[in-house]
């Protein structure tokens, strides 16, 4: 050896720069119960997707959700905007057509989107399938002639003068088993014409009659004002409209 003693040298300081970022952490249920709902895009249910914070929200990627469904005959879906760490976004789901929705599903592509300030690349995209349950129902749909020609008739107290037939028409791409029944009432603007009765609980594709009677001589011209109620099917738990 040299026989020399060790010497303590002056220490140095190194400034460290940088930041560490977590990938997004998606959290979403594996099933979505829509319950009994109305068919149509105006009625939606939410599938909540959360970007769970792992350590520090400010240093965690956003979560991008791309939602689709292969069951486009019965479901429509819409994706949320990118979800920040600690936040929740909703995939909106609606029924396109009436019928049983159980067996349909929503597919989610989940991508960890690097924060703009980080300059990092996005994380890998993973996929998840969410099973859907529920049943969709259509409202009743009234169809009837715009005019009722009574012709010249006798005043009567015991017979029907005329009949207006009202159909509960099947909704577009509908299912008669999942369409409301139809109640029909009527009033006459002409006091010479009495409304004998309307129709109740007209099933989808079936018809019911509004009957009238001439009770006083004179012109019968006027209007019949129809009251139409979509009667929710028993057991559906839905409201009448």
- What residues contact 88, with CB distance under 8 A and at least 6 apart? 48, 49, 50, 51
**pLDDT for 107:** 98
186, 194 Cβ separation under 8 angstroms:
no
DSSP per-residue string spanning 76-90: EEEPPPPB-TT-EEE
Residue 209 predicted with pLDDT over 90: yes
The pLDDT score that the predictor gives to residue 42 is 85
Does residue 1 surpass a pLDDT of 80? no
> Model confidence over 7-49: pLDDT tens digits?
999 999 999 999 999 999 999 999 999 999 999 888 999 999 9
pLDDT score recorded for residue 86: 98
- Residues whose CB falls within 8 Å of the CB of residue 194, separated by 6 or more in sequence, listed in order: 188, 212, 213, 214, 215
Task: Name the pLDDT band for 167 (thresholds 50, 70, 90).
Answer: very high
In tens, the pLDDT along 85-130 reads 999 999 999 999 999 999 999 999 999 999 999 999 999 999 999 9
- Residue 169, pLDDT score: 98
pLDDT, average across residues 209-234: 97
Q: What is the pTM of this model?
A: 0.87
């Amino acid at each position: 050896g040299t026989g020399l003693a060790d010497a303590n040298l002056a220490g140095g300081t190194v400034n460290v720069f940088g930041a560490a970022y977590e990938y997004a952490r998606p959290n979403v249920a594996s099933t979505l119960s829509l319950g009994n709902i109305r068919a149509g895009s105006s009625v939606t249910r939410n599938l909540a997707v959360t970007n769970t914070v792992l350590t520090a929200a400010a240093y965690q990627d956003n979560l991008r959700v791309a939602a689709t469904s292969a069951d486009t005959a019965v479901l429509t879906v819409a994706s949320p905007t990118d979800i920040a760490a600690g936040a929740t976004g909703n995939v909106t789901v609606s029924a396109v057509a009436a019928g049983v929705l159980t067996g349909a599903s929503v597919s989610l592509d989940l991508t960890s989107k690097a924060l703009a300030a980080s300059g990092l690349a996005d994380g890998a995209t993973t996929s998840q399938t969410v099973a859907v349950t529920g049943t969709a129902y259509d409202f009743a749909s009234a169809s009837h002639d715009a005019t009722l020609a009574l012709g010249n008739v006798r005043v009567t107290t015991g017979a029907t003068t005329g009949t207006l037939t009202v159909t509960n028409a099947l909704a577009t791409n509908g299912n008669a088993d999942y369409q409301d029944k139809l109640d029909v009432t009527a009033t006459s603007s002409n006091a010479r014409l009495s409304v004998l009765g309307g129709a109740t609980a007209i099933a989808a594709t079936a018809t019911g009659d509004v009957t009238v009677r001439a009770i006083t001589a004179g012109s019968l011209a006027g209007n019949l004002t129809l009251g139409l109620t979509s009667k929710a099917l028993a057991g559906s738990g839905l409201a009448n409209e």
